[in-house]
Amino acid sequence: MTDTTRITGEVPSGPAADAAGLIDMVLGIVRAQVLHAFAELRIADHLADGAQTAREVAGREGSQVRATYRLMRAAASMGVLSYAGDGRFGLTGTGHLLRADVPGSLRAFALLHASRSHWQPWQLFPDAVRQGTSQAKRALGADLFDYLARPENADQAKLFTDAMTDWSRLTVHGAVAALDTAGVSTVLDVGGADGQFVLELMAAHPGLRGLVLDLPHVVAGAREEAAKCGLSGRFSAVPGDFFAEVPAADLYLLKTILHDWDDDQAIAILRNCRSAAAGGGRALVVETVIGEIGQPDLATLSDMGMLCVAGGIERDLAEFDTLFAASGWDRGETYPVGGGYYSLELHAR
């Protein structure tokens, strides 16, 4: 450890402090890669039973000892690890979230955002702003979702699904708890991947029948999850394209779907849901909502990722209302459900 007891002087202020703050922002790219390596090398899993030295962790992982120490020291400076003395590091609460297969894990989320499917387009971000379009096709040879659908990228597709599942856990519980299902018998999870949202809703309301609509290479995972939950008897996974057709239902769930698409595409999805909706049909949109300009706002940072990588957009309430009005829906109650996300309840016109 560095001996700081003989360091003297005051912390700079004014322009020097501004420069330090800007440098700290720029080094966000380094933080992302520290978290990527930390997750890839399963440092949190190696420390699950208590504090250890870098040599012990490197022995388990097969990594170089000094480089492992340097990584763990950097992670400690970020609050992911704590220092227990004598070269031993332990997990903080944040660090525990980078363990695999623990409640609330965000390990896959950390891996995804430094993976080739997401990291490579960011190198072209200035062009995304110049052109107003995603750079995934230039960087990857295909738009993001087409890239993930390719058989040779199955590992990246699984990582994407795992990351979205982990992220969803931050919001699903709150959305399910707050949703009134009176008068609802059939619920369709639009683009629902493994069906986490609709399956949890079905578990909370035993009278509901649930469906997931997603691409053919995705729906098998939804069937597997339904079987694990013991809900296969009242669950169906439908392969399809929500731009083409949506099955009939009483309630449509659109969780983090609209932000993946531009306005015309989002309206097409909503309009297809509205066309298929039974009389008195409803929808529940779960998304981030951009707040007051100039205030710290995770949604505005997510919006940059949507611009560069996925080709979508995060929206404020006025922008959402424009989409809803154009597709035959009226927005009703709107409320936070956790993780910076909101539920926007829609009623068919």
Active site members: 259
Give the number of other Cβ atoms within 10 Å of residue 141's Cβ.
10
**How many CB atoms neighbour CB 47 within 10 A?**
24
Q: For residues 339 and 322, give the distance between their C-alpha atoms in angstroms, rounded to a whole number.
A: 25
Give the three-class secondary structure for 308.
helix
Strand arrangement of the beta sheet that strand 282-288 belongs to: 235-239, 209-214, 186-190, 251-255, 282-288, 341-348, 329-338
Query: CA 74, CA 146: separation in Å to the nearest integer?
Result: 36
The full DSSP string for 129-198 is HHHTS--HHHHHSS-HHHHHHSGGGHHHHHHHHHHHHHHHHHHHHHHHHH---TT--EEEEET-TT-HHH
Tokens of 315: 């929206």
What is the separation of C-alpha 329 from the centre of its chain, rounded to a whole number of angstroms? 26
How far, CA to CA in Å, does 163 sit from each of 5, 49, 92, 233, 331?
Answer: 43, 25, 21, 27, 29
CA 174 to chain centre: 16
Q: How far is CA 117 from CA 33, 148, 158, 260, in A?
A: 15, 8, 12, 15
Q: Is 339 helix (H, G, I), strand (E, B) or coil?
A: coil
Q: Tokens at residue 316, please?
A: 């404020």
Helices (H), 41-92: 43-46, 54-61, 65-77
Query: Residues 76, 63: contact at Cβ < 8 Å?
Result: no
- Residue 50 is given by DSSP the state S
